[in-house]
Structure 1
Amino acid sequence: MNPVSPWTLRALQLFSAAAISLVVAVQLGLHNPFWAAMPVWVVVQPYREDLLVRAVLRVAGTVLGAALGWSALKLLPDTSTRILVLALAIGIGTAATYWIGTVYSYGVLLAAITVAVVLVPAMNSTVDAVALALDRIGCTLIGVVAVTAITFPFTPHRGGPPLPRHPPAMRLVVLHGMIAGTTALVGGVLALLVGGPAGVAAALSLCIFSLIIGSSRNPEPILTYMPPGAAIGVLAALAYRGVDMMLPDLAGLALILAMPFMAAGAALRSHPRSALLGLDANMCFLLAAEAGTAAHGFDAHLQGGVALVVSAFLLAALFRRIGVLQMRDE
């Protein structure tokens, strides 16, 4: 009898963690339960030490970002000022994450992402800032606990010290922060002017993608896999919503239908050859599908999904162009 391959075991672990997170968040009545499955795909690490660091920083960064976003919504009633705060948060978060350049930068990254998640949906609508911030924190706790508890026993020790940190040139730190901050500023304006699912999805995508790309010391793998991963995730999300809308409106059906998609995503994320593609595909599926929740109408999911994919391809092209100019400058 052939033994089960390591990546198959990892896929089972990730699927179990994602499924449990989503089910718990739905049962607790959280408004965005799909957020709970997101930490599963990124907190998991090859080594136990990094897994624990990421788990702690994911929670700490989320709490800090939620507090900052809530404060901006409560203290700054003017939308234009909120957009400036959004741009500053993404710009500073990108620069700081790029400057740190180790696993310890993850908390800063999550704080900046959470500011965007709290602020962007409020650009052209009335939202309960406290409820949104607490929802984000609650989902994060659920996902982090699930993925840590399930994968920790199967994750090996590193067996040596982590790689040494190499501080980058300060001009590159500033450049990356300015590019991401400017992109977030454009995203905030889009959310305000365009509005609706397309405006919100485009703004969130521009903020989060520019932050992730701009904060990476080696963005080439991200630029390669992010656009097709986003496309795969959105196509899966539209298929999920299409099937959901064709079937009777039964309680719990949206949650049950999400399971095979997350199982496929776990397989992609676990295999060494498709891990990076699977990461982007899973995150974009959860965002575009809003898995486990009631649908907002197929057109809304289509608009948001298209905006997400277009943003991914545009930012990949933009950062590739910037990379060429940077190499010439050096």
Structure 2
Amino acid sequence: MATRPIWQVAGVSPAILFLALQLIIASAAALGLAKMFGLANPFWAAMPVWVVHQAFREDLLTRAALRIVGTLIGAAVSLGLLFLDPPQSVLILCLSGFIGACAALAFRIGTTRSYGAFMAAITMLVVVLPFLSRLPHDAVATPVALAVDRILCTILGVVCVAAVTVLFTPARGAPLARQPHGRTRTAGIKRFLICAGATMAAGITTAGFASFQVLAFGMTLVVYTLIMSSAPDPRPIHRNLLPGVAIGVISGIVYHTASYTLLADTPVLLVVLTALFLAAGAMLRAHPATQGMGLDANMCFLLVAEVGTWRHGMSDVALAGMAMLAAAAVAWLLIKLELLRDFPTEPI
């Protein structure tokens, strides 16, 4: 009896391997180009690779365009608000209201086309919440610098993932359909209140405690509350959230520790280590059984590991990673208590 290759035993088909290869190439290209161009947060450039790629070409291109448009809108609103220099309490209220409104709008749209509203909210959070933290920062962490870097990294990542994968992504061949769960006014208001409340809590605590870990907790709490609230059906995201975040946080801490202590002066080994982690993440994202948790794992890995830069020391990174995992758990519980009861229980 012939012995099957190990990848076939694991349920890995040639199609999965080919998709993983595309994602490795796209993420590595985005990281490398961002580093070459001197962008302050090169790991941001790799993030679109994991979220923009979709099963169908139309959805991929729609997400690519809306990620850029949403980022531009969020950056413009953020900088315009900060230019007005409102009192801190007003700034927190505006941030909370904007993110809550974006969540309700994305939920109302209910398809891939909701991604622009989602990205506008994320971008405003990335620009405004660090400003509220009042943490000491250098020239690359001012609101304007963060907004510009976010825009450039977004464009770079979108171009890389589209250029590498679009020709190999099949067309859907059918009209885009919304999921049947009702997008009632009451459901939209509930999502507005959940996301606005989470953002207000994050804003108040971040402004009150000048701590990198508190900032990481607040950012993660809002992001995952927003992701699940804006989804037409949050159950698949909710089911995979904590395993994916845990994988990403642990792998990010391991990568950061290894690169910070052992490989900082050995560029070739650092590139090899990065490629290995990207390859593992690509396999998680490409395999149908793990693609949900693979998305969260890759995003958290990039954020915790700060791939391409070492802005924080090992202890700060480890504590921030634990804060992210704790915040994801709070968001998971919040959505379980407030939203999942509106949906029938999924069979296990």
Q: When the two structures are superposed, what TM-score results if normalisation uses the length of structure 1?
A: 0.94
The one-letter code sitting in structure 2 at the alignment partner of 1:176 is R
- Confirm or deny: 8 A CA contact 1:91 1:180 kept in the other structure: yes
The offset of 1:111, in angstroms, is 0.5
User: Structure 2: how far apart are the matches of 1:308 and 1:76?
Assistant: 29
Alignment match of 2:101 (pick from 88, 92, 97): 92
Confirm whether residue 319 of structure 1 aligns to residue 335 of structure 2.
yes
The offset of 1:197, in angstroms, is 1.6
Distance 1:325 1:11, change over 3 A: closer
Aligned counterpart, 1:139: 153
Alignment match of 1:266 (pick from 267, 282, 290): 282
- Confirm or deny: 8 A CA contact 1:254 1:291 kept in the other structure: no
What secondary structure, in the 3-state scheme, does the structure 1 residue paired with 2:33 have? Answer: helix
User: Structure 1: how far apart are the matches of 2:109 and 2:262?
Assistant: 49
The offset of 1:314, in angstroms, is 1.3
User: Structure 1: how far apart are the matches of 2:318 and 2:305?
Assistant: 9
Aligned counterpart, 1:73: 82
> Any residues of structure 2 matched to 1:30-41 within 5 Å, and which?
30-41=39-50
User: Structure 2: how far apart are the matches of 1:194 and 1:211?
Assistant: 23
Aligned counterpart, 1:216: 231
Alignment match of 2:326 (pick from 302, 310, 318): 310
Distance 1:156 1:128, change over 3 A: same
Q: When the two structures are superposed, what TM-score results if normalisation uses the length of structure 2?
A: 0.89
- Confirm or deny: 8 A CA contact 1:238 1:301 kept in the other structure: yes
Confirm whether residue 175 of structure 1 aligns to residue 190 of structure 2.
yes
Aligned counterpart, 2:209: 194
Q: Which runs of 5+ in 2 are unaligned?
A: none
Give the stretch that moved more between structures: 220-229 or 253-262: 253-262
- Confirm or deny: 8 A CA contact 2:179 2:232 kept in the other structure: no
The offset of 1:46, in angstroms, is 0.7
What secondary structure, in the 3-state scheme, does the structure 1 residue paired with 2:339 have? Answer: helix
**Runs of 4+ residues over 6 Å off in structure 1:** 1-4
User: Structure 2: how far apart are the matches of 1:293 and 1:77?
Assistant: 33
> Any residues of structure 2 matched to 1:43-192 within 5 Å, and which?
43-123=52-132, 124-125=134-135, 127-164=141-178, 168-192=183-207
User: Structure 2: how far apart are the matches of 1:23 and 1:96?
Assistant: 35
Aligned counterpart, 2:22: 13
- Confirm or deny: 8 A CA contact 2:235 2:340 kept in the other structure: no
Q: CA RMSD in A?
A: 2.0
Superposed CA deviations along residues 232-289 of structure 1, whole A, max 9, x for unmatched, are 1000011001111221532746555322111100000000000001000000111111
